[in-house]
Amino acid sequence: MHNQSSLLQSPSSTTFEVLKHVQVYYEPGRYGGWPANHGIWRWGDEVLVGFQSGAYKEQAGHTIDWQQPIRKVFARSRDGGETWALEDTLPDALDNPVENAGVLLTPHAQAQPCPGGIDFTHPDFVMTFSHASFHVGPSRFWTSTDRGHTWAGPYRLPDMVTQGIGARTDYLVNRRADCTLFLTAAKQNGREGRPFCARTTDGGRTWRLVAWIGPEPQEGFVIMPASVRLPNGHMLVALRAQPDRTRSSIQAYRSGDDGLTWQQLPDPIPALAPSNPPAFIRLHDDRLCLAYGVRAAPYRMCARLSSDDGMTWGDELVLRDDGANGDMGYPRCVQRDDGVIVTVYYFNDAATGVERYIGATLWRAF
Domains of the chain in start order, with CATH, are 21-365 (2.120.10.10)
- Contact criterion met (CB below 8 Å) for 121 and 176: yes
pLDDT at 100 over 60: no
- Contact criterion met (CB below 8 Å) for 137 and 167: yes
Which pLDDT score, from 0 to 100, does residue 132 have? Answer: 82
Whole-number percent of the chain with pLDDT over 90:
81
The mean-pLDDT minimum among 30-39, 204-213, 241-250 falls in: 241-250
pLDDT category at 1 given cuts 50, 70, 90 is: very low
Residue 82 to residue 86: CA distance in whole angstroms: 14
Which pLDDT score, from 0 to 100, does residue 162 have? Answer: 74
pLDDT category at 95 given cuts 50, 70, 90 is: confident
Question: What is the CA angle 53-173-145, rounded to 5?
Answer: 60
Burial of 36 (0-12, 13-18, 19+ CB in 10 A): buried
- Contact criterion met (CB below 8 Å) for 244 and 218: yes
What DSSP string describes 184-222? EEE-TTS-EEEEEEEEESSTTS--EEEEE-SPPPSSSEE
- Which one, of 310, 314, 311, 324, lies nearest residue 352 by Cα? 324
pTM metric for this prediction: 0.94
- Which one, of 61, 69, 67, lies nearest residue 92 by Cα? 69
Give the burial string for 176-198 (b: 16+ CB within 10 Å, else e): ebebbbbbbbbbeeebbbbbbbb
pLDDT at 184 over 50: yes
Q: What is the mean pLDDT of residues 115-141?
A: 91
Residue 302 to residue 11: CA distance in whole angstroms: 14
Sequence-distant (6+) residues with CB within 8 A of 211 are 196, 197, 255, 259, 260, 261, 262
Sequence-distant (6+) residues with CB within 8 A of 353 are 28
pLDDT at 102 over 70: no
Q: What is the mean pLDDT of residues 311-339?
A: 97
pLDDT category at 161 given cuts 50, 70, 90 is: confident
What DSSP string describes 83-131? S-EEE---TT-B-S-EEETTEEE-GGGG-EE------TT-TT-EEEEEE
Q: Judging by DSSP bridges, how do beta strands 152-157 and 112-113 pair with one another?
A: parallel
Q: What is the mean pLDDT of the chain?
A: 93
pLDDT category at 318 given cuts 50, 70, 90 is: very high
Which pLDDT score, from 0 to 100, does residue 104 have? Answer: 57
What DSSP string describes 257-312? STTSS-EEEEEEES--SS----EEEE-TTS-EEEEEEE-SSSPEEEEEEESSTTSS
Residue 271 to residue 151: CA distance in whole angstroms: 39
User: 101 or 29: which carries more pLDDT confidence?
Assistant: 29
pLDDT at 103 over 70: no
